[in-house]
A and B are shown apart, each in its own frame.
Chain A
Amino acid sequence: MKIRTMKYIVKEGFANTYKNLLMSLASVSMVIASLLIFGIFLMLIINFTYNLNRLKAQVEIAVFLESDISQLEAGDIELKIKNDERVLAYTKVSKDQAYAQLMNQYLEDSDLLEGLTPDFLSESFRIHLKNADDSAAFTEEISKLPGVEDVSYPYESLKKLSAVLNWINAGSMVVLSLLLIISVSIIANTIKLTVYARRKEIEIMKYVGANDWFIRWPFIIEGVIIGFAGALASFILTCYLYNLVESYVNTHALEYGINDLIKLVPLGNIGGQIFIIYAIIGVVMGSVGSVISVRKHLNV
């Protein structure tokens, strides 16, 4: 394709968008609506995953030893843990330390612990893994070692959280596809108007021997402009809304003292990717809408 042809095509694309301003704006708003709803789901997924991973990393595996275990056996278990490649760090909690921790926790209701001596408690190892995904297998193995009484790991809760995350994922895909279909058909409708407005010109172009692509491209450009404009606008809106939500969550998390537990991903970390995702979806929606419309109404 020659450069002046490209110039012509881009110029025509912009001119069409402008001549059809009202319908173009309607299509742009539809793209904005779709991307915003999609964006809400996307943000949910991102933040859910982020917090789940943080949670997993924070959660420690507690390995409780039988209370009558010999020093030798305990040493064996410690060696196993120490040499395991999956282990990031571990601490040993002696009976006395465990007792002290407990006393500390129930400071105000210390009468509850009356009669309790360190001997009632068991020694334990508190383990952090390098990769939270290894937890299940690691827990399984360690619980089989002789001398290990119990291994505690909030495995079930984390599994439930992961399941919720999967549901949100699936749900957002369904919503996204529905919105995509609606947006694409609305864009196709807008382009149809341009095709109709320019049918005389197109007919002449066909009689004089213009290539199909020469006729098609301006309409595709029009669709891309609509899609990209929608993506840009929804990106700005998403950033604005995200900042609102972020400051709301941060202040309220502080109020309830769960600011360590729940943390939103800073926008700066994901803004670039979000924009690229939006732009790709917008542009693809726009061009697919055009191609459908051109095929149906242009017969080229």
Chain B
Amino acid sequence: MIEFRNVTKRYPNGTIGLQDATFTIEKGEFVFIVGPSGSGKSTLLKLMLHEETPTEGEVYVNEFSIHDMPRREVPYLRRGLGVVFQDFRLLPNKTVYENVAFAMQIVEAQPKDIRRQVPVALALVGLSKKAKVYPEQLSGGEQQRVALARAIVNNPSVLLADEPTGNLDPETSWEIMNLLDEINQRGTTVIVATHEKSIVDLMKKRVFNLEYGRIIRDVQEGNYTNED
């Protein structure tokens, strides 16, 4: 469960990242965060990751209180969160398999668990056959699917995606969104910041509209904007 209570984020240079945001996202929800560039979508995700801390208000993610948690606990917060970015962020000198396994190695998982879970994650994103390939030999969509596999391999309860289809063509974007939906069906909370109007309109999920750091609209089964 994720809860924001009157959260404001002001950056040191004076810009407002988020203004008085209050909402709750229950376990298993699928939420789109939409809005123009600079409206605060990334700030929202960064607050959940403790990449930023709120200037005012309280943020709860799983059992952690982001607004007053010690730094040393941050790794444990993040182990419960999977993250996907617009630019994939794969390691070029590691194979697909190694990229996914890396996420388990650095949290000191058992080797036998790594050998069991990595193939499962790769199968879920449909890349079992490309396990030994290096990222540069993959298309953008495939690279994002590797990133997805890496994000979910540790079984996080929440998956955060920051413009995951920003670098992809429409068809591939759909594949990624369907994968996110599938991951959501399996019980993971999925939060996606995006610009893809057509996808948001068709998927009929909960939608947050952000403008100038404020959540101006929060609807279930919503569209990208008010106009239908």
B partners with A: yes
On A, residues with C-beta under 8 Å from B are 2, 4-5, 8, 200-201, 203-212, 214
- Whether the Cβ atoms of B91 and A201 lie closer than 8 Å is yes
Which residues of B sit under 8 angstroms from A5, Cβ to Cβ?
Answer: 108
How near does chain A come to B100, taking the closest CB pair, in angstroms? 11
- Whether the Cβ atoms of A208 and B154 lie closer than 8 Å is yes
Within 8 A of A (CB), among B105-138: 105-108, 111
Within 8 A of A (CB), among B4-46: none
Which of B73-81, B166-174, B196-204 contacts the other chain?
A: B73-81
Contact of A212 with B72 at beta-carbon distance under 8 Å, contacts A4-B111, A204-B102 already known? yes
Distance A2 CA – B6 CA, assembled complex (angstroms): 42
> Inter-chain contact count A-B, CB under 8 Å?
44
How near does chain B come to A219, taking the closest CB pair, in angstroms? 15
Besides A8-B105, A214-B106, 18 other CB < 8 A contacts? Answer: A5-B108, A200-B91, A201-B91, A203-B89, A204-B89, A204-B103, A206-B75, A206-B78, A208-B79, A208-B102, A208-B103, A208-B154, A209-B77, A209-B78, A209-B106, A210-B75, A210-B107, A214-B108
Which residues of A sit under 8 angstroms from B154, Cβ to Cβ?
Answer: 208-209
Which residues of A sit under 8 angstroms from B49, Cβ to Cβ?
Answer: 207
How near does chain B come to A140, taking the closest CB pair, in angstroms? 63
Which residues of B sit under 8 angstroms from A212, Cβ to Cβ?
Answer: 72, 75
Which residues of A sit under 8 angstroms from B78, Cβ to Cβ?
Answer: 206-209
Which residues of B sit under 8 angstroms from A204, Cβ to Cβ?
Answer: 89, 91, 102-103
Which residues of A sit under 8 angstroms from B107, Cβ to Cβ?
Answer: 208-210
- Whether the Cβ atoms of A209 and B79 lie closer than 8 Å is yes
Distance A206 CA – B103 CA, assembled complex (angstroms): 10
User: Which 7 residue pairs of A and B lie closest in terms of their CB atoms, listed nearest first?
Assistant: A209-B79, A209-B78, A210-B106, A209-B75, A208-B103, A207-B83, A211-B75
Which residues of A sit under 8 angstroms from B103, Cβ to Cβ?
Answer: 204, 208
* Most chain B Cβ neighbours within 10 Å, of A5, A207, A211: A207
Distance A200 CA – B89 CA, assembled complex (angstroms): 7
How near does chain B come to A28, taking the closest CB pair, in angstroms? 25
Within 8 A of A (CB), among B197-226: none
Distance A293 CA – B111 CA, assembled complex (angstroms): 32
How near does chain B come to A133, taking the closest CB pair, in angstroms? 53
* Nearest B residue to A211, CB-CB: B75
How near does chain A come to B102, taking the closest CB pair, in angstroms? 7
Distance A5 CA – B104 CA, assembled complex (angstroms): 12
* Nearest A residue to B75, CB-CB: A209
* Nearest B residue to A214, CB-CB: B106
* Nearest A residue to B72, CB-CB: A212
Contact of A209 with B76 at beta-carbon distance under 8 Å, contacts A5-B108, A203-B89 already known? yes
